[in-house]
């Protein structure tokens, strides 16, 4: 069959610290994930029905950046389990046709990684060049003006060896030097290590920074101040020298050829910028780069900017930038950004928009990524000051509100003891929603299982529909004779319209609003999302 798991399936992101704690230490772990696999897919529509899970990092780490500071790429942090637990998770997931995607963090290691300890021990260390070390300028200042994503200069002075090292994120996250072939080889061997254990793919962290300007020239200032709010301090500069450097794509192609040593594996890279920039990472017309590069463009539509015209514009821009064989993907949230519902809650209607957005996420063309908790409509959790954990809080927005434990029951159900981050509003929970025909969880299940059964939705072509009321975004998906129509009403009021002559709506497959009207004229309720089969 033409079905490819990473292309036509649905991927679910787990933030492992917050999914399920199995041993009562308040921290989620791999055994907890194993316990909950049937929730994700037990082969019936009483489960979510996803095809793969991407887990944020589970490697040994001092947890300065909650695992994105890796101290050993080939082991498991004891908080999460052991290599044997990981093997069991891979096995149990595969029994349920769930693929496992690990989070590969190539741009930087932890400063506790043995490679960095060795590198910083002396200027003559054989691993000195595994990281980016430079002398101070004549006046003692840093080699250039680059700033760290989490604030402050991207250079840290090392007293002992009298040089600066580069860290694009925390001081405890030194950047690897991918211009050194030994580094590249070692990191490719990490990929092989996990693929040999049965891992199906990799989400690649900070893909767009692994190579920088070899001359380390200054970034120019950013005249566009509107970026500041969203991107924190990084918005102060244009990242022409330290991000999206042209030859990263060559390194990506080499990663792809290593991944292709094993059958049926995939990569999805974290890349920022315009659609034109993002699609470069797919490898262009030859499609020999990443299988997928995250399309974050919908996550940028905050507040009133989440409307029919903008959503359509962004979907179409990505579609038209993609080279022939490349495949899109849809993202509404992740562990770094406000939860969707909170992002569009400027007038208190975030939850309704969340339901309509689910219809969008699961019927647009491309691989949907669900961030754990979206399927029950979790908003941001207010985390009191004394419970905050994320180190990024000093410099720009804190990421704890979207990282709180998944709410399984009215009592929490995540852990027997106090979770590492507090629960939010526990009236939003899996157990209650499983029993409720009109819940968000039921909606997600219906959408996913409808999608699974439909070639139009999984494989089909996409075409937006013109000439509808301004608040409606509608599109068809078509494969062979099968055609579906998605209609989303972004307005706070109902809307009525006639479909273009060529489209005759048949059976309604899913709606956010229960039983929709029958008959020729379409009436959508405020924030209704509806999926129908076309006749
Ligand atoms: O994020 C990369 C990144 O650019 C983020 O810093 C993002 O801009 C920020 O979190 C928005 O608030 C990745 C991971 O997803 C993130 O969790 C890590 O902290 C970061 O890399 C460093 O590894
Ligand atoms: Ca635990």
Nearest to 533 by CA among 491, 481, 498: 481
pLDDT(525) > 50:
yes
Residue 227 pLDDT: 55
Give the burial class of 442: count Cβ atoms within 10 A of its Cβ; 0-12 exposed, 13-18 middle, 19 or more buried: middle
Nearest to 202 by CA among 311, 121, 106, 312: 106
For 349-388, the pLDDT digits (tens) are: 999 999 999 999 999 999 999 999 999 999 999 999 999 9
Q: What's the DSSP call for residue 175?
A: B
Average pLDDT value for the chain: 95
Mean local confidence (pLDDT), 242-268: 98
Residue 224 pLDDT: 78
For 4-46, the pLDDT digits (tens) are: 999 999 999 999 999 999 999 999 999 999 999 999 999 999 9
For 159-168, the pLDDT digits (tens) are: 999 999 999 9
Handedness of CA 20, 21, 26, 29 (dihedral sign): negative
Q: Write the residue with the smallest CA distance to atom 16 of ligand 1.
A: 336
Cβ 167 vs Cβ 156: under 8 Å: yes
- The total of other beta-carbon atoms located within 10 Å of residue 344's CB is 26
Residue 330 pLDDT: 98
pLDDT(69) > 80:
yes
Which atom of ligand 1 lies at the shortest distance from residue 334's CA? 15
Q: What's the DSSP call for residue 215?
A: T
Residue 382 pLDDT: 95
Instruction: Tell me which of 386 and 2 has the higher pLDDT.
Output: 386
Q: Which residues contact 166 (CB under 8 A, 6 or more apart)?
A: 131, 132, 134, 146, 154, 155, 174, 175, 212
Q: Sheet with 482-489: list strands edge to edge.
A: 461-464, 472-479, 482-489, 529-534, 505-511
Q: What is the CA radius of gyration of the chain?
A: 23
pLDDT(515) > 80:
no
Number of helices (H), then strands (E), belonging to the chain: the values are 15, 18
Instruction: Tell me which of 151 and 247 has the higher pLDDT.
Output: 247
Residue 61 pLDDT: 98
The catalytically annotated residue of 21, 205, 242, 402 is 205
* Of 54, 56, 68, 230, best ligand 1 pocket probe by most atoms within 8 Å of the beta carbon: 68
The percent of the chain in helix, strand and coil, each rounded to the nearest 5, is 30, 15, 50
Residue 395 pLDDT: 47
Residue 504 pLDDT: 86
**Cα 467 from Cα 472, distance rounded (Å):** 10
- Give the distance (Å) from ligand 1 centre to CA of residue 17: 16
Mean local confidence (pLDDT), 236-253: 96
For 312-321, the pLDDT digits (tens) are: 999 999 999 9
- Give the distance (Å) from ligand 1 centre to CA of residue 270: 9
Which atom of ligand 1 lies at the shortest distance from residue 170's CA? 22
Mean local confidence (pLDDT), 212-236: 80
Tell me, using a 6 A CB cutoff, whether residue 399 lines ligand 1: yes
Q: Is 205 assigned a catalytic role?
A: yes
Residue 534 pLDDT: 94
* Of 55, 169, 237, 335, best ligand 1 pocket probe by most atoms within 8 Å of the beta carbon: 169
């Amino acid at each position: 069959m033409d079905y490819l798991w990473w292309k036509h399936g649905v991927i679910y992101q787990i933030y492992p610290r917050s999914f399920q704690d199995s041993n009562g230490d308040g921290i989620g772990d791999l055994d907890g994930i194993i316990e909950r696999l049937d929730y994700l897919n037990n082969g019936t529509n009483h489960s979510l029905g996803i095809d793969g899970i991407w887990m944020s990092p589970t490697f040994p780490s001092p947890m300065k950046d909650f695992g994105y500071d890796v101290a050993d790429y080939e082991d498991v942090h004891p908080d999460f389990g052991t290599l044997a637990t990981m093997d069991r998770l891979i096995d149990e997931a595969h029994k349920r046709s769930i693929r496992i995607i690990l989070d590969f963090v190539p741009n930087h290691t932890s400063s506790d990684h043995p490679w960095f300890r060795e590198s910083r021990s002396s200027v003559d260390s054989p691993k000195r060049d595994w990281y980016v070390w430079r002398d101070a300028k004549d006046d003692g200042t840093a080699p250039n003006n680059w700033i760290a994503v989490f604030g402050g200069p991207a250079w840290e002075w090392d007293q002992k060896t009298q040089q600066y090292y580069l860290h694009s994120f925390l001081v405890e996250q030194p950047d690897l030097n991918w211009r050194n072939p030994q580094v590249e080889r070692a990191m490719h061997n990490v990929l092989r290590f996990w693929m040999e254990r049965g891992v199906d793919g990799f989400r690649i962290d900070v893909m767009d920074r692994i190579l920088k300007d070899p001359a380390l020239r200054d970034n120019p200032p950013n005249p566009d101040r509107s970026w500041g709010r969203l991107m924190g301090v990084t918005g102060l500069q244009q990242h022409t020298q330290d991000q999206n450097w042209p030859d990263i794509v060559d390194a990506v192609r080499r990663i792809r050829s290593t991944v292709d040593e094993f059958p049926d594996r995939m990569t999805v890279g974290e890349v920022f910028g315009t659609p034109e920039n993002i699609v470069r990472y797919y490898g262009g017309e030859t499609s020999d780069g990443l299988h997928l590069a995250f399309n974050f463009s919908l996550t940028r539509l905050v507040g009133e900017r989440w409307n029919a015209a903008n959503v359509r514009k962004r979907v179409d821009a990505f579609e038209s930038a993609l080279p022939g064989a490349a495949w899109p993907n849809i993202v509404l949230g992740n562990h770094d950004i406000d939860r969707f519902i909170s992002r569009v809650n400027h007038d208190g209607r975030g939850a309704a928009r969340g339901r309509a957005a689910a219809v969008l996420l699961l019927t647009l063309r491309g691989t949907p990524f669900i961030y754990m908790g979206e399927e029950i409509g979790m908003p941001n959790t207010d985390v009191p000051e004394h419970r905050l954990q994320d180190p990024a809080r000093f410099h720009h927005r804190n990421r704890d509100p979207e990282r709180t434990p998944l709410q399984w029951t009215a009592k929490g159900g995540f852990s027997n003891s106090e979770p590492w981050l507090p629960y939010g509003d526990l009236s939003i929970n899996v157990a209650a929603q499983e029993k409720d025909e009109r819940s968000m969880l039921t909606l997600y299940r219906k959408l996913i299982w409808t999608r699974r059964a439909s070639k139009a939705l999984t494989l089909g072509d996409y075409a937006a529909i013109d000439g509808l009321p301004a608040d409606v975004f509608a599109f068809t998906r078509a494969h062979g004779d099968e055609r579906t129509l998605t209609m989303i009403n972004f307005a706070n009021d109902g809307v009525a319209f006639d479909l273009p002559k060529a489209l005759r709506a048949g059976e309604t497959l899913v709606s956010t609003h229960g039983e929709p009207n029958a008959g020729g004229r379409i009436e959508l309720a405020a924030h209704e999302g509806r999926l129908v089969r076309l006749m």
